[in-house]
Amino acid sequence: MASSEKEHPALGLLTRAHDPSISSQIFREKVQNRPLLLRPSSPDPREDARSKRQKARLEKAKANRKSKKPRPLTAKQKRELGVYDIPKEQQKYDIYVPIWKLWCAYMREILGMERSRYVNAAGVGPLLASADYHGAMVDVVRCRCVGRVGIRGIVVKDTKFTLEIITPKNELKTVPKEYTVFRFEVPFVESDNDGDTQMADPQKPFIFELHGSQFQNRAADRAARKFKQHIDPDL
């Protein structure tokens, strides 16, 4: 015996309220043939309008950054990458001797040693304070750490608080400027019979002492700064 098809609950309720013909029509139009509207894709309920705007703004900013030239490295990134570190194979004294000779010519030019063999503190003091000391041959003559006294070599890096010096033994020494006195010489140049210039031995060189505690500036900052002569009480 075949089981009769189960009646839809909505049709039973409509039959109680209307005639069979009317209830069948209503059931067919409102229930059986009712269209089901579907969206192409449902939105993420976790995203509201504010988060959508923020996401679009961030994506636009990211696209603009990619279209422009890359940002320069920060100081922290430069330290991590070792941008200014001197490689081990380049920590050799002989490499920097020609730089020292160029530095001597640079100092003779700013001190006017070709015109005169005499200088005074008032005239050359500001020039020495704003000079660049990359390539200078310096000696540590005084320091609170006595183990650093006697270090001699060529300055390969002049930072705000330290000098990095390469010694004749190919050792790279980092000497803090604070409470340290550096001595450096600027030799004269004389011409030989062939007209070539060479370091002069008979003429005594200019000898200067640099107090590191009063010299804690970067080379680029010193070049654009005006120095005034004054007596520091610590000296």
Tell me: pLDDT of 156 over 50: yes
pLDDT in tens, 112-144: 877 777 777 677 777 888 888 999 999 999 999
Tell me: pLDDT of 10 over 60: yes
Q: Compute the radius of gyration of the chain from its Cα atoms.
A: 42
Taking the CA atoms of 134, 135, 136 and 137 in sequence, report the sign of the dihedral they define.
positive
pLDDT in tens, 179-197: 999 999 988 875 454 545 5
What percent helix, strand, coil does the chain show, rounded to 5?
40, 20, 45
Residue 175 in tokens: 């000497």
Domains and CATH numbers, the chain: 92-223 (2.30.30.210)
Please tell me which residue, 229 or 109, carries the higher pLDDT value. 109
Q: What is the model's pTM?
A: 0.62
CA-CA distance, 200 to 163, in Å (whole number)?
Answer: 27
**pLDDT the model gives residue 1:** 41
CA-CA distance, 214 to 199, in Å (whole number)?
Answer: 30
